[in-house]
Amino acid sequence: MHAHSSTPSGPAPSSTAISPPRWLPWLIAAVPVVPFFYLVAFAALGSLRRLPLFARWILFYFAASQIVAALFTPNPLLSLSFAGIRTLEILAMIAAGVYLQDSRHLRPLLWGEVVIFLTAWGYSLYTQGMAGIMARLSHPYYYTVSLGLLAVIALWLIMFWRGGAIWWRVAAGLLAIATLLAAGSRGPTLALVVGSVAALLLARGRGIRRWVLIPLGVVAAAIFAVNTLKLKITPILRLLDDQTSGRNFVWDDAYAAWQTSPIGGVGAYQGGPYLTYLFKGGCQLNPILTANQIQCPEWLSSFSGMWLIAHNAWLQWLMETGVIGLSGLLLVYGYGLWAAAKSRDPLLIAALFGYTAMNFVDVVIAVPSPHFAELWWVTLGISVWRLEGATIRRKSPVEPRKAS
């Protein structure tokens, strides 16, 4: 049955939330620690059929634009393989959001992220002592910027989680704020500000106004205290730095790479060698390998820079997929933002708008990642489901009340 049908033969989408299997919250909680668990989302691809025709056409155009763009790259066969895999994973994550239907099912992520925070603090202290903490927090498989973004996600989950004891909110919130400050990344801080303010302005619920300001106030107070007292806490001082940290050179490299193949780009995951400011050789596939300048095996050396990013999502997509692929991204991206705003759900709004702000200085929607990019596409799927479900309910005939 088409989702836009007004026949009352079946329940309208999102009229009732799903009752997930008992193992699903445990799986979601484990994803930050064991990222490949999110591959279970491929089993939900069939959920895309629940979306109305308009939403499916947008997703179809997005997917088609990625595949067609690959045909106009310098290496079409390799680009088709990479574009197909990446697009399929994105669609799987959107489908997972459609399956979940409600942002409340994402709450267990918080517990996995708390494990990552504790691991990062323990790893930094064990390998570098307090010097490592005072430099910047590190983790075996999350980059420092990623740790900051995880801390922001955790804060949103805490802020918008209704119910529950105050003690775990305070404990988890302080750990997340400490991790954000110790990571010393401006992109996640920007995401926290923009996402929280967007939720404050667009979401429903008076309680949001109280909770959303607390993390912002604590972070601002910490930065003010360190700056005023002239404390030599490098990660926090980095948050006051207004320099681009070389991003302007990376943006120039990405733009120059796009000019070599403007229609279809240079191909998904193939832009690393063009980013000459970042590409220094070695095996740039993992934080530990990069830090220790460990060389990749010969068979993997040609892909050693595949995780290098243009530090701007739009330039990244333009470089890799040209004008064709970027048009598909902009369409589905704009649709997702509109759907999140219409949902009035604070977590969806904070995530989609906060990530958008960070995407101007980093790339946090390109999959695969240790789960944060996948999370963005999942929230987009939930937002689209919420939007289309509301539309269908408005179009459905209202049943007459029974006489009492």
- Mean pLDDT, the chain, as a whole number? 87
Task: Output the pLDDT for position 36.
Answer: 93
Q: Which of 242, 146, 233, 156 is nearest to 193 (CA)?
A: 156
In this predicted structure, which of 31-40, 87-96, 233-242 has the lowest mean pLDDT? Answer: 233-242
Q: Dihedral of CA 376/379/385/389: which sign?
A: negative
Residue 400: which pLDDT band, with cuts at 50, 70 and 90? very low
Question: For the whole model, what pTM was predicted?
Answer: 0.89
Over its C-alpha atoms, the chain yields an Rg (Å, rounded) of 22
Task: Please state, in angstroms and as integers, the Cα–Cα distance from residue 118 to each residue in 33, 164, 218, following that order.
Answer: 11, 22, 20
Whether residue 219 is predicted with pLDDT greater than 50 in this model: the reply is yes
Rounded to the nearest 10°, the torsion over CA 140, 142, 145, 148 is: -100
Tell me the percentage of the chain whose pLDDT exceeds 90.
66
Helices marked H in 101-244 — which ranges? 109-128, 130-135, 144-159, 166-183, 186-202, 207-211, 213-228, 234-238
DSSP secondary structure letters along 328-380: HHHHHHHHHHHHHHHHT-HHHHHHHHHHHHHTTTS--SPSSSSSHHHHHHHHH
Whether residue 126 is predicted with pLDDT greater than 70 in this model: the reply is yes
Q: Are 365 and 377 in contact (CB under 8 A)?
A: yes
HSE, CB side, 13 Å, CA atoms: give it for residue 222. 21
Residue 399: which pLDDT band, with cuts at 50, 70 and 90? very low
DSSP secondary structure letters along 368-395: SSSSHHHHHHHHHHHHHHHHHHHHHHHH
Residue 404: which pLDDT band, with cuts at 50, 70 and 90? very low
- What interhelical angle do 166-183 and 144-159 show, nearest 10? 160
Q: Are 355 and 195 in contact (CB under 8 A)?
A: yes
Nearest-5° angle of CA 175, CA 176, CA 180? 120
107 Cβ partners below 8 Å, 6+ apart?
Answer: 25, 157, 161
Nearest-5° angle of CA 175, CA 118, CA 124? 110
Most confident of 4-13, 122-131, 167-176, 273-282: 167-176
Task: Summarize pLDDT for 286-306 with one digit per residue, the tens.
Answer: 666 666 666 776 666 667 678
Burial class (CB in 10 A: 0-12, 13-18, 19+), 198: buried
Residue 171: which pLDDT band, with cuts at 50, 70 and 90? very high
135 vs 357, higher pLDDT: 357
Task: Output the pLDDT for position 273.
Answer: 87
What would the mean pLDDT of 350-379 be, rounded to a whole number?
96
DSSP letter (8 states) at residue 39: G
